[in-house]
Amino acid sequence: MSSVFAQKMVLFAIYAFAGWLLETSYASIRERRFVNRGFLCGPFCPIYGFGALLITTVSEQAGARLDDPLARGLVIFLMSALLVTCLEYATGWVLDKIFHRKWWDYQGQKMNIGGYVCVEFSLLWGALAFVLAELIHPAILLLLTSLPGWFLIAAAWIMLIDFAIDTGVSVSREWQRKHSSGVTRLKLR
């Protein structure tokens, strides 16, 4: 495993865990009880890991090409909002079609598309993306670059194995839930 891939894997895990904390805290406060949000059994929401990697890649590209901080911030905000909205829609749609279950539903929000995305949260994701790209990610990168390469590679392997096992367990759990509720075939439309 290369050190670049190891660093991306560790970043993915950090952001997937942070997303799980954000989602679980939000849902638990709203429902006044602990709610484990996310598809996986463990404390990770992979959509946040993928989203953060998309955002940081876009912000690195924008930073390399734009000297004006206002233009850079606007590009990060708009591109991230668009990319994360597309990721959220695709993920929500796929999970719903495979498992016949919505992990989030924006039906009550104005200007939503199928309950998978809405303008209000797209704008929120854009703002959070800007904070991630400009404040959080540089600090985390500084910390990770100070760690020895062998440590990052070991951590990446541990995370990769953990995600593989958790994904297998979670898919099995959802498959059993789907079949125990009387749904026996996969619908893709």
pLDDT of 189 > 60? The answer is: no
Give the model confidence (pLDDT) of 3-47 as tens digits: 889 999 999 999 999 999 999 998 899 899 998 888 888 999 999
Q: How many CA atoms lie within 13 A of 145 on its CB side?
A: 6
pTM (2 d.p.): 0.85
pLDDT in tens, 63-76: 778 888 888 888 88
What one-letter code names the amino acid at 132?
A: L
Contacts of residue 15, defined as CB under 8 A and 6 or more positions apart, other chains included, come to 48, 49, 51, 52, 53, 132
Going by pLDDT thresholds of 50, 70 and 90, the confidence category of residue 182 is low
The tens digit of pLDDT for each residue in 117-167 reads: 999 999 999 999 999 998 999 999 999 999 999 999 999 999 999 999 999
**Residue 9: Cβ within 10 Å count:** 22
pLDDT digits (tens, 9 = 90+) for 57-116: 988 887 778 888 888 888 889 999 999 999 999 999 999 998 888 888 999 899 999 999
